[in-house]
Amino acid sequence: MDPRQRKDEEHFRQVERALLYADDAARKIGRIADELRRDGGDPHLVKALEAGGEAVRADHREMMKKVYFRAPDSPQQDLLAQDPPQRLAS
């Protein structure tokens, strides 16, 4: 493996680590919100944690799209910027 490939591999490992941190943070925030709700915590704290968890999940999804599904200088890149359609609860 040449030095450039080695450097690229190291960068990608760092990016994957960051993605895992974001995913882990979203899960932890959700667990804490659930615990507070079960324990009768102040509703505004539960709502704040739920909103924060959703924001982290949204950022994580956006990072995943940009890292794994990038189509440089392509008209398809515009498709990635659009939010996925909302699913109806069944």
Render pLDDT for 20-44 as a digit per residue (tens, 0 to 9): 999 999 999 999 999 999 999 999 9
72: its two tokens: 């440089």
pLDDT in tens, 45-73: 999 999 999 999 999 999 999 988 876 66
* pTM of this structure: 0.70
Checking if the pLDDT of 77 tops 60, the result is: no
Angstrom distances, CA of residue 37 to CA of 33, 54, 55, 71: 6, 16, 19, 42
Residue in this structure with the two tokens 């615990």, named with its chain if needed: 35
Helices within 39-86 (DSSP H only): 43-68, 77-81
The two tokens of residue 57 are 């999940």
